[in-house]
């Protein structure tokens, strides 16, 4: 689909926009209205059958489309206007030797789910810690081969969601739009919605701890939520006060379970060994007070005693007993060395 995209600067900086972001699924002209950053608004109008790109991408036509929204030359500046063709595509591989692709160089998607820039940020978050480990000599170059597989799996789902939303929004046929509306109103009366958020699908490929038949172990590949915690006297979101990198989450101190060599390796690659607790009085050097219950619930729901979380917040693996922590650490070490990531003998 082709859409005319308009960036507008209203003169009235105090004008209230309600709702702030709006998707108008009108078959006579599907329209998007969203905040465009401080002092700016964005309007997007779908090209209808019979319209040419040249006719649509005219300043006079832009003002004509904006007028029903009470936007005109007397109360706003049209900063820019251009036509974009929304596409869905991705590269088959995002790595070739020392060349790696990310963001728009690796994939494009329609904007309907708001996942374009988000996907580029996820690419960077998946890649940066792997590059750091490889360049520092703490991981085999094969670790970079997990990048395409891991991000491609998630990216394709994001594109599918965007296309599904686009199918709802970009319907120009009045009869089909009426059927769509009746269906959606029926779902709303039932208390459900076709636009309900879906839980993020767990990774099933890449750097994950696996059992003997190659299946990811329980909890491996799940995305850990972001919660408020207190750590060493500071309160805030986990990654703000605890920091980034690998994290071994347990409800007891796991240090005594590891030998000196394993402890030294964990320190070398930055594995933080933490005790998660709901005791508000806990203030030990490894104590993380779980103020929102995010991390304790992860441990409880998974039935795991320890979870090893990657720097991009995906669970590498978990074990049911504290005495199995050496197996968990050994599996990560094997994986970073480019060898199979399984439950190896401690």
Q: pLDDT tens across 257-266, in order?
A: 999 999 999 9
Three-state SS for the chain is: CEEEEEEEEECCCCCCCCCCCEEECCCCCCEEEEECCCCCEEEEEECCCCCCHHHHCCHHHHHHHHHHHCCCCCCEEEEEEEEEECCCEECCCCEECCEECCHHHCEECCCCCCCHHHHHHHHHHHHHHHHHHHHCCCCCHHHHHHHHHHHHHHHHHHHHHHHHHHHHHCCCCHHHHHHHHHHHHHHHHCCCCCCCCCCCCCCCCCCCCECCCCCECCCCCCECCCCEEEECCEEEEHHHHCCCCCEEEECCCCHHHCCHHHHHHHHHHCCEEEEEECCCCCCCCCEEEECCCHHHHHHHHHCCCEEEECCCCEEEEEECCHHHHHHHHHHHHHHHCCCCCECCCC
pLDDT of 239 higher than 90? yes
Work out the pLDDT band at 212, boundaries 50, 70, 90.
confident
Q: Which pLDDT belongs to residue 310?
A: 98
Tens of pLDDT, residue by residue over 297-340, are 999 999 999 999 999 999 999 999 999 999 999 999 999 998 75
pLDDT of 346 higher than 50? no
Q: Which pLDDT belongs to residue 288?
A: 98
Tens of pLDDT, residue by residue over 6-61, are 999 999 999 999 899 999 999 999 999 999 989 999 999 999 988 999 999 999 99
Output 143 or 153, whichever has higher pLDDT: 143
* Average pLDDT value over all residues in the chain: 92
* For range 241-245, the mean pLDDT: 94
pLDDT of 149 higher than 80? yes
pLDDT of 181 higher than 50? yes
| pTM for this predicted structure | 0.84
Percent with pLDDT over 90 in the chain: 80
Question: What CA–CA distance (Å, rounded) separates 99 from 229?
Answer: 38
Question: What CA–CA distance (Å, rounded) separates 332 from 341?
Answer: 7
Percent with pLDDT over 70 in the chain: 96
* For range 243-271, the mean pLDDT: 96
Tens of pLDDT, residue by residue over 277-288, are 999 999 999 999
Q: Which pLDDT belongs to residue 138?
A: 95
* For range 233-248, the mean pLDDT: 96
Q: Which pLDDT belongs to residue 56?
A: 93
pLDDT of 208 higher than 50? yes
Q: Which pLDDT belongs to residue 114?
A: 84
Q: Using an 8 Å Cβ cutoff, are 78 and 63 in contact? A: yes
Q: Which pLDDT belongs to residue 341?
A: 57
Tens of pLDDT, residue by residue over 105-129, are 999 998 888 888 999 999 999 999 9
Q: Which pLDDT belongs to residue 196?
A: 60
Question: Distances in Å between the alpha carbon of 154 and those of 10, 95, 160, 194?
Answer: 37, 17, 10, 20
Q: Which long-range contacts (CB under 8 A, 24 or more apart) does 15-22 make?
A: 17/41
Residues paired with residue 230 on neighbouring β-strands, in sequence order: 235, 289
Q: Using an 8 Å Cβ cutoff, are 279 and 149 in contact? A: no
Question: What CA–CA distance (Å, rounded) separates 278 from 313?
Answer: 21
Work out the pLDDT band at 193, boundaries 50, 70, 90.
confident
pLDDT of 345 higher than 50? no
């Amino acid at each position: 689909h082709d859409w005319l995209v308009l960036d507008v600067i209203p003169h009235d900086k105090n004008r209230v926009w309600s709702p702030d972001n709006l998707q108008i699924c009108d078959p006579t002209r599907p329209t998007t209205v969203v905040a465009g950053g401080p002092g700016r608004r964005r309007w997007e109008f779908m090209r209808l059958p019979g319209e040419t790109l040249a006719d649509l991408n005219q300043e006079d036509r832009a003002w004509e489309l904006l007028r029903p929204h009470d936007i005109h030359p007397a109360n706003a500046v049209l900063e820019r206007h251009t036509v974009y063709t929304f596409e869905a595509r991705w590269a088959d591989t995002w790595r070739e030797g020392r060349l790696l692709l990310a963001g728009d160089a690796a994939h494009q998607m329609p904007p309907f789910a708001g996942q374009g820039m988000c996907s580029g940020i996820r690419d960077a978050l998946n890649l940066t810690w792997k590059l750091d480990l490889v360049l520092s000599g703490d991981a085999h170059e094969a670790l970079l081969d997990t990048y395409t597989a891991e991000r491609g799996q998630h990216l394709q789902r994001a594109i599918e969601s965007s296309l599904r939303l686009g199918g709802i929004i970009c319907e120009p046929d009045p009869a089909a739009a009426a059927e769509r509306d009746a269906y959606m109103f029926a779902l709303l009366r039932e208390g459900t919605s076709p636009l309900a958020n879906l839980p993020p699908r767990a990774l099933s490929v890449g750097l994950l701890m696996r059992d003997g038949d190659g299946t990811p172990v329980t909890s491996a590949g799940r995305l850990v939520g972001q919660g408020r915690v207190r750590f060493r006297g500071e309160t805030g979101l986990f990654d703000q006060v605890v920091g980034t990198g690998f994290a071994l989450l347990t409800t007891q101190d796991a240090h005594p379970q590891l030998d000196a060599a394993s402890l030294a390796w964990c320190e070398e690659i930055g594995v933080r060994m933490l005790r998660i607790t709901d005791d508000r009085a806990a203030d030990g050097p490894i104590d993380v007070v779980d103020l929102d219950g995010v991390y304790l619930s992860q441990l409880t729901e998974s039935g795991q005693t320890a979870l090893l979380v990657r720097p991009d917040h995906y669970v590498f693996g978990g074990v049911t007993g504290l005495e199995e922590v050496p197996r968990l650490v050994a599996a990560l070490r094997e994986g970073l060395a480019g060898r199979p990531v399984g439950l190896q003998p401690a």
